[in-house]
């Protein structure tokens, strides 16, 4: 739905890294010769890629993060993704991936550097979890890659230990975040809609604005459909037959997801009600409220709101730590690593 606003979802870097590492350890074959990144012969696995608050991150550690995250990306998008340019400067997705990976590792190291001051350590049970994660990961990595990248058990264990510790610090510092979320704040409505656009397309597929006469015709059609919508027992079929966005008829929406004009109407409707024609910059909408509050979606939204509050609170603390942290990156060492697969 083009009138939906994109949610600015703040993802927890710790969770993202743990997800990729665990996904890799649970895969049938996490690494193969054909899917392996390359490392210049001018560097070795014991060279320092980055130093964070006095702690060295060696290439062997960074490569384990890279292999795990690379596997996840290629599973989702294929290995062609690496050559895609992401900005006008010509930065490739491979370049961006490497930059972000270092940021993620830096994040983990900075957070873990605060463990002693916060008096936070891993429990015996948590260390057993780390041992299990480590064993699972190593059992799925090929012997060729273990040899090629110098993957050591103690390094893998340190990575999992760091991630579990960082997550524990996150949880400790967000314990007092307000978890009271009202049903109205989190309410999710189930809507069906008809959309008639104010623009069309020329023979070349370029979007063009309608003339005043064409716009009047669209508006008249919207009014006619509004009358039909009030009488029909099957709004969905009416929308499928007439909407300019027939590939999306039904949506679940929360506050902040919709254009302001649509949100005002959508959250005032009761189950079974149909709206009048709603005009926006892009076109005309007719809404049907299938469910004024989806209980399951609302419960999930409550959790998401709490998580967002926690992430915002922790991010504020992290920014303060990052500003004061001593970080030294060896760009030449990291530049010697290519994410792209070997031929």
How do residues 156-168 score in pLDDT, each as one tens digit?
999 999 999 999 9
Residue 61 pLDDT = 93
What are 173-202's pLDDT values in tens digits?
999 999 999 999 999 999 999 999 999 988
For the segment 108-114, the average pLDDT, to the nearest whole number, is 97
138 vs 86, 132, 238, 278, 339, CA distance in Å? 34, 10, 55, 58, 21
Residue 108 pLDDT = 96
pLDDT: which is higher, 37 or 322: 322
pTM (2 d.p.) = 0.71
pLDDT: which is higher, 141 or 243: 243
User: Quick check: 111 pLDDT over 60?
Assistant: yes
User: Quick check: 16 pLDDT over 60?
Assistant: no
CA distance 173 to 161: 18
Lowest pLDDT segment from 25-29, 149-153, 301-305? 25-29
User: Quick check: 13 pLDDT over 60?
Assistant: no
For residue 78, give the DSSP letter: -
Nearest to 65 by CA among 91, 46, 37, 40: 37
- Cβ atoms of 267 and 163 closer than 8 Å: no
pLDDT band at 246 (very low <50, low <70, confident <90, very high): confident
- Alpha helix segments (H runs only) across 208-294: 212-231, 235-242, 260-266
For the segment 271-275, the average pLDDT, to the nearest whole number, is 97
pLDDT band at 5 (very low <50, low <70, confident <90, very high): very low
User: Quick check: 83 pLDDT over 80?
Assistant: yes
pLDDT: which is higher, 44 or 319: 319
Residue 341 pLDDT = 67
pLDDT band at 67 (very low <50, low <70, confident <90, very high): confident
Residue 71 pLDDT = 84
Residue 136 pLDDT = 93
User: Quick check: 2 pLDDT over 70?
Assistant: no
Strand, coil or helix: 179? coil
User: Quick check: 53 pLDDT over 90?
Assistant: yes
**Residue the block writes with tokens 């990961």:** 137
What are 215-240's pLDDT values in tens digits?
999 999 999 999 999 999 999 999 99
What is the percent of the chain with per-residue pLDDT over 90, rounded to a whole number?
A: 73
- Alpha helix segments (H runs only) across the chain: 13-26, 59-77, 93-112, 115-118, 124-140, 143-148, 153-173, 183-186, 212-231, 235-242, 260-266, 295-324, 331-335
User: Quick check: 277 pLDDT over 70?
Assistant: yes
């Amino acid at each position: 739905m083009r009138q939906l606003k994109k949610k600015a979802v703040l993802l927890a870097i710790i969770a993202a890294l743990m997800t990729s590492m665990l996904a890799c350890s649970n895969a049938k074959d996490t690494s193969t010769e054909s899917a392996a990144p390359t490392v210049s012969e001018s560097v070795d696995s014991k060279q320092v890629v980055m130093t964070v608050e006095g702690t060295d991150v060696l290439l062997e550690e960074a490569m384990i993060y890279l292999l795990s995250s690379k596997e996840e990306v290629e599973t989702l998008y294929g290995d062609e993704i690496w050559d895609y340019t992401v900005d006008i400067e010509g930065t490739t997705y491979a370049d961006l991936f490497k930059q972000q990976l270092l940021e993620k590792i830096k994040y983990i190291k900075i957070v873990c550097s605060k463990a002693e001051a916060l008096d936070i350590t891993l429990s015996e049970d948590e260390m057993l979890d780390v041992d299990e994660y480590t064993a699972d990961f190593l059992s799925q990595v090929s012997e060729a890659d273990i040899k090629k990248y110098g993957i050591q058990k103690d390094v893998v264990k340190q990575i999992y230990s760091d991630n579990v510790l960082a997550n524990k610090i996150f949880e400790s510092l967000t314990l007092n975040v307000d978890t009271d979320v009202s049903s109205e704040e989190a309410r999710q409505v189930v809507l069906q809609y008809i959309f008639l656009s104010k623009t069309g397309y020329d023979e070349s597929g370029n979007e063009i604005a309608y003339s005043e006469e064409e716009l009047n015709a669209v508006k008249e059609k919207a009014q006619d459909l509004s009358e039909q919508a009030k009488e029909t027992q099957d709004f969905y079929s009416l929308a499928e037959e007439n909407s300019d966005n027939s590939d999306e008829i039904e949506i679940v929406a929360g506050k902040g997801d919709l254009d302001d004009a649509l949100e005002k109407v959508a959250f005032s409707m009761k189950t079974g009600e149909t709206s009048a024609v709603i005009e926006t910059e892009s076109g005309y909408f007719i809404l049907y409220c299938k469910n004024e509050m989806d209980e399951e979606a609302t419960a999930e939204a409550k959790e998401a709101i709490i998580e967002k509050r926690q992430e915002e609170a922790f991010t504020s603390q992290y920014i303060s730590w990052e500003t004061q942290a001593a970080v030294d990156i060896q760009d030449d060492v990291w530049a010697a690593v290519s994410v792209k697969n070997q031929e």
